[in-house]
């Protein structure tokens, strides 16, 4: 790995070694990632992915870690941070947002320029790239409703291209395989003119605060069930609110969340997730798919 470190330094690609899940994941727990790299240009991305391929090291794009659980055993690869891609501009009622722009910053820009469209998503602690890939949503609004195009870097060819909304395989909390093998660089949001963006955004932000826990979490653990009902409803009905494993807890405020009450490990989270799923399945015959992303190996 020392040779790879030397090559990254020679390529002038900023990186850090062995950052833990406490620093990287919104859950504030989990193991260490071998390398977190911070490319700031397409040429740096080309050099980084070429080096990773040459050394046989796995890699993946990384935003703010808002729905990412890292195994306590860590990840022996490279996280490619989007923080270097934070370009932000306004073209009429369109927002052009780099993948590393946080939703909070995007909302500030939208309010300053009276561009409506993102308000229902206010408070999601994520970056634009991650939201575009996961089709993040809230209060009936999804990224698929407002994205017009996404610019991507193809990790295999090194080419940059634009994918129009009609060609993105969006579904509930998914973009299918559209971005497989690609890194999102930028997304364009189609909005509308409104002088009430800040007021409406604050309304949805306050609604979120009323219902969602303040302890570190990864947001909703599971996707909605096939019946269109959130798994939190069934977890609550099963009497699991407040159940703890180690430092992890099924939130007493919203049963669809697993929170870190202090010292929670990734293993604690996984045990609670499995417990919730299994109990709900036994009691109600309901099964659901994970909404979080799990990285690394688990015992």
| Cα–Cα nearest to 285, from 222, 226, 223 | 226
- The question of whether 261 is a catalytic residue gets the answer no
Set 173, 175, 224, 249: catalytic member: 173
- The question of whether 43 is a catalytic residue gets the answer no
- The question of whether 166 is a catalytic residue gets the answer no
| Cα–Cα nearest to 76, from 107, 52, 110, 104 | 52
Set 175, 217, 220, 251: catalytic member: 220
Asked if 175 and 168 count as a contact pair (C-beta separation under 8 A), the reply is yes
Q: Could you please report the per-residue DSSP string of the chain? A: -HHHHHHHHHTT--EEEEEEHHHHSTTS-B-EEEEEE---SHHHHHHHHHHHHHHT--EEEESS-TTEEE-TT-EEEEEEE-TT---EEEETTEEEEETT-BHHHHHHHHHHTTEES-GGGTT---BHHHHHHHT-EETTEEGGGTEEEEEEEETTT--EEEEEGGGS--BTTB-TTTTTTEEEEEEEEE-EE-S-HHHHHHHHHHHHHHHS-SSSEEEESBPPPTTS--HHHHHHHTT-TT-EETTEEE-SS-TTEEEE-SS--HHHHHHHHHHHHHHHHHHH-----B-SEEES---
Residues recognised as catalytic: 173, 220, 291
């Amino acid at each position: 790995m020392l040779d790879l470190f030397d090559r990254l330094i020679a390529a002038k690609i900023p990186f850090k070694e062995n950052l833990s899940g406490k620093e990287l994941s919104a859950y504030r727990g989990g193991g260490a990632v071998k390398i977190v790299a911070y490319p700031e240009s397409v040429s740096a991305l080309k050099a980084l992915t070429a080096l990773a391929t040459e050394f046989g090291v796995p890699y993946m794009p990384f935003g703010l870690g808002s729905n990412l659980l890292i195994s306590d055993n860590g990840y022996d690869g490279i996280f490619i941070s989007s923080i270097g891609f934070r370009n932000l501009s306004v073209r009429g009622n369109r927002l052009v947002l780099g993948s590393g722009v946080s939703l909070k910053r995007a909302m500030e820009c939208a309010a300053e320029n009276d561009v409506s469209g993102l308000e229902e998503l206010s408070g999601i602690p994520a970056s634009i790239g991650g939201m575009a890939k996961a089709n993040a949503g809230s209060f009936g609004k999804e990224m698929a409703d407002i994205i017009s195009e996404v610019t991507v870097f193809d990790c295999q060819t090194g080419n940059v291209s634009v994918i129009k909304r009609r060609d993105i395989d969006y579904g509930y909390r998914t973009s299918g395989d559209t971005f497989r093998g690609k890194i999102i660089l930028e997304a364009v949001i189609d909005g509308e003119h409104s002088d009430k963006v800040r007021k409406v955004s604050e309304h949805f932000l306050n609604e979120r605060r009323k219902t969602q826990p303040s302890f570190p979490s990864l947001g909703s653990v599971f996707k909605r069930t096939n019946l269109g009902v959130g798994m939190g409803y069934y977890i609550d009905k099963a009497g699991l609110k407040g159940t703890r494993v180690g430092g992890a807890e099924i939130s007493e405020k919203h049963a669809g969340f697993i929170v870190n009450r202090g010292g929670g490990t990734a293993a604690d989270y996984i045990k609670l997730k499995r417990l919730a799923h299994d109990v709900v399945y036994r009691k109600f015959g309901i099964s659901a798919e994970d909404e979080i992303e799990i990285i690394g190996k688990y015992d």
